[in-house]
Structure 1
Amino acid sequence: MFVNRKKICVILQLLLSTSIIFIFIVIVHVKKSFSLVSMDKVTPVKDAFGFVNDGHHFNKSTNANTNNVGSFNLDLRIIVITYNRPVSLLRCLKSLNDVDYIGHRVKLDIFIDRSSKSKAVSQITYSIAKAFSFLHGKKTVNVHKKHVGLYGQWLETWRPTEDNKEIAVILEDDITVSPFFYEWLRAAHAQYDARTDVSGYALANVNQLAAAPGGIVVPLNYTAYIYPILGSWGFSPHRDRWREFLAWYDSASIDASFNPYVKGIRHTEWYESFQKTNYQKSMWSMWHIYFSHIHKLYCVFPNLPDHYMFARNHQDRGFHYSGNVKADQVDKLVSNLNWNPDILKMPKNPIKVDYYGHISVG
C-alpha cells in the first residue's frame, strides 16, 4: 500500500502551524498573567505607586500621621526592602510564612525601589511580591515613586509616631529568618525596651564584624549581649531611639561637608573607602553608628551556641557582596532541632562589648 506523500506534507504543515499558534497563545497568556514585561518599562499597575501602609506611619513630607482606613493595631510590622532580586525576595518571604507568630497581629510591608538610571521597576520582583500569599496577616506592596537607594529604603519605610507601640523589623531581601525569630525579638523588647541606652535589636550576632582579632566571645551563660554597632542582618529598631536618630539624620545630613566618622573602628575605614569610589550611599549604617557613638547607645544581640542565629544573610550579589559566599561562612538558623526556650531568659544586665571585643557586665 502506497501513501500519498503530498497529502502527508499538507497535514504535517497544518499540525506545525497549529502547534506554533498554540505555543504563542500560551506565551502571551503567561506574560499577561505574571506581568513579565520588559525591565525597562514603568510599572503599569495603578496600586504600584506610592505608599499604601497601614498603622501609624510618619509622613516626612507632610509632617502628619498617615492612618489609612482599615488600619489596625499591630504587634509586629515586618518590612522587607527589595529592588531587583526576585529569587532572593521569594526565599525571604517563604521563610516569613514558616515563623511562629504565637497568634499575634502581624503586618508585612514590602518596599520595592526603582532603578537609579531608568527609574524602572523590576516587573518580576513586583509580580512575585504581589502574588505572594502571606499566611499570618495583611500584606502591602509599596513601590517608591522615585529611586531612593538603600538610604531611602532603610530610613523612610518606618517612621513611628510617639503613640506607636508595635515592634518593627527591617529585612533586606537576601535574609531568611528562623521560625523562632519573633519569640526572641518579642522577649528582647520586653526585657530591654525600658533602657535608654538601647538602639535596637539584631537577629544575627556580630562575630564577623568585630574589630578584635578573635571576634567577640561572650560566655554562653549570658543569652544576650550589647554592642555599640547595630546588626543590619535583621534589625529591629528601638522605637524611641529610632525616632531620635531619624530626626538627627534629617538635620545632620543637610551639611554636605559633614562626615559621620568614628575614629579607630573598621566601619569608618569601610565608609572612607566607599567615599573614594562615590559608593558611600551604600552604607547608611555609618550614620547610625555615629549617632549611637555620640549618645553611647548599644544594640542587643543573641548569644547562642555554635554561632546559631535568628536570621541568615545569603550574601547575594549586590552592593556589598559578590554572591560567592562559601558554605562555611553561612550562619546557621535556629530551628526545631536546636530551639531551647531558655534562650528567652535574658539577663537584666547583659554582657557589654566594646568596639574591640573587650567585655564587661552592662
Structure 2
Amino acid sequence: MTKLSLRIFFPVCLFSLLTLILFKNPAWKLVKFTEDKKHDVDYEDLINKNANNAKSNALSKVTDRKSFDLRIIVLVYDRAKSLQRLLNSLNEAEYASDIIKLEIWIDRSEYGNVDNITLQAAINFNYLHGDFEVIVHQHHVGIVGQWLTTWKPNINSNEIVVFLEDDVTVSKYFWKYLKMVHRKFDNRSDINGFSLQGYSRTFSLKHKVTTLRGPKDYTVFLFPVLGSWGFSPSTKNWKQFLDWFYSEDKSSFNPYAPGNIASNWYKTFSSQGKANTMWTMWHIYYAWKNNEYTLHCNFPENAGLTTNWREKGLHYSHTEGSSNKLLTEWKSEYDNLPDHVPYLNLSGHVIHY
C-alpha cells in the first residue's frame, strides 16, 4: 500500500469507528427528535436503565433534598401541548422562597409504549423555581395508578403535595392559597383535602344538579365530594385512604355512595367497561363512609386557583374549553380564613357551620 493510500486509509477507519460508537450510544440518541408516537427504542433504552425505581438521572434535574415545602405532581399520558400549557403556568406562579419539587409522571399505553412527543416536552422543560424530575412508569397504570401510586405520604413530614392532571392550568396564587389553608385546617380530622377548582356542581340525586357555591361572605366551604381539578390531600387522611383502598377486594365490592349522582356515573362506566377510569368514586365512597369533607374555594364569579380545559379524553367526548376564570388578584380579605367553615350537603345547602 502506498504512503498516500495509508494516509487516507487510517483517517477513514478512525472516522468509521467513531461513527459506530456514537450511534450505538443511547445518550447520543437522546437528542434525536421524532414525531413518531409509536414505541421508540431510543427513549426506552434511557427509561429502562432505571427499571428498578423508575427514576433515571438522564430524565432528572434534581438535588439530594428529600423534604420539600411543596411537591407538585403532574400526571400526563399523551398530551404534550396540554402539558406545556400547565408547566408554563407553574413557572408563572409565586412561591416566595419556599422549597419546591416538581415531578412529571408519564404513563404508558396498555401496550407499554411511551408517547415520545410528551416525553420530550417534559425533558426539555426548564423549571425556574426548584427541583425538577421526569418519571416514567415502568408499565401502564391508568388514571387510578397515576393518582394512587405516585406519592407515598409520610405523616411525620410537613410536606404539602398537590396533584395536577395535564388538562389544567394554575393561578399564580395557587401555592399562596394552599399554604394558607393547610396551615389553618390540617389538624381537622374531618377535612380530607383541599380543592383548587373554582367551578363544580352539586351531587345530589334528589335535587337538580346546579353550580356549587358557598355562602357569599365565605371564601371557603366544606363539601362531601373532592374537586380533582387540582387536589391537595391531607397527608394523614391520604395515607388512611390508600391503606383502605389497597385492602379492599375490587372484584367483589362496588363503592356506591347513597344519594350521590357519582354512583350513577360509576355504574354507567362499569357497564361500559370503564370503571377503572373513575378513581374518584373510591375517594367519594371513603369520604361518605368516614363523614369527611373537602375544603373548596369560594371566590367571586367562580374564579379558581385552577381551571380545567375539559379536553377530549377519558371523560369528555369533545373539547369544551376552560371551566372557569383563574384568580388573577389576591385581595387582603382572602387572608382571613374563618374559624367556622360552612358545611354543605350534596344539594349545596348549608347544614351547619
**What TM-score do you get using the length of structure 1 for normalisation?**
0.82
The alpha-carbon distance between structure 1 residues 69 and 175, as it changes in their structure 2 partners (threshold 3 A), is closer
Contact 1:34 1:127 in 2 (8 A): no
- In 2, distance between residues paired with 1:299 and 1:34? 45
Matches within 5 A, 1:202-217: 202-211=195-204, 212-213=207-208, 214-217=210-213
Q: Deviation at 1:98?
A: 0.4
> Which residue number in structure 1 is paired with residue 113 of structure 2?
120
State the partner residue of 1:146.
139
Query: What is the CA deviation profile of residues 132-176 of structure 1, one whole-angstrom value per residue up to 9, with x for unaligned ones?
Result: 000000110000000000000000001112222100000000010
The yes-or-no answer on 1:81 pairing with 2:84 is no
Displacement, 1:330? 2.6
The answer to whether residue 251 in structure 2 is matched with residue 256 in structure 1 is: yes
The aligned residue for residue 282 of structure 1 is: 277
Please list the CA deviations of residues 110-141 of structure 1 after superposition, one character each: whole Å capped at 9, or x if unmatched: 0000001x210000000000000000001100
Specify the alignment match of 1:12 in structure 2: none
Q: Please say which of residues 119-128 and 34-43 is displaced more in the overlay.
A: 34-43
1-side partners of 2:72 and 2:55: how far apart? 14
Q: Distance in 2 between matches of 1:32 and 1:121?
A: 14
Q: Distance in 2 between the 1:197 and 1:357 partners? A: 18
| Residue 293 (structure 1) aligned with residue 296 (structure 2) | no
Give me the TM-score of the superposition, normalised by structure 2. Answer: 0.84
Asked if 1 retains the 8 angstrom alpha-carbon contact of 2:202 and 2:346, the reply is no
- In the TM superposition, residue 47 of structure 1 has moved relative to its aligned partner by 4.5
| Shift in Å, 1:361 | 3.2
The aligned residue for residue 137 of structure 1 is 130
Give the stretch that moved more between structures: 216-225 or 188-197: 216-225
% of aligned pairs identical?
A: 35
Residue 324 (structure 1) shift: 2.6
Q: Which amino acid aligns with 1:88?
A: S
Closer, same or farther: CA 191–264 of 1 in aligned 2, 3 Å: same
Deviation at 1:220, TM superposition (A): 2.1
Any idea what the Cα deviations from partners look like across 1:219-276, whole Å, max 9, x if unmatched? 2211110001110000000000000000000001x34110000122110000000000
Q: How far apart are the structure 2 equivalents of 1:45 and 1:127?
A: 14
After superposition, the CA RMSD in angstroms is 2.0
Corresponding residue for 2:149? 156
What is the CA-CA distance between 1:69 and the residue it aligns to? 8.2
Work out which of the residue numbers 321, 335, 341 in structure 2 matches 1:344.
Answer: 335
- With 103-112 and 343-352 compared, the bigger mean Cα shift is at 343-352
Q: Which moved more, 1:217-226 or 1:135-144?
A: 217-226
- Kept after mapping to 2: 8 A contact 1:349/1:361: no
How far did 1:103 drift?
1.2
**Structure 2 unmatched ranges of 5 or more:** 1-28
Distance 1:206 1:293, change over 3 A: farther
Q: CA deviation at 1:208?
A: 2.6
**5+ long unaligned stretches in structure 1:** 1-30, 55-67
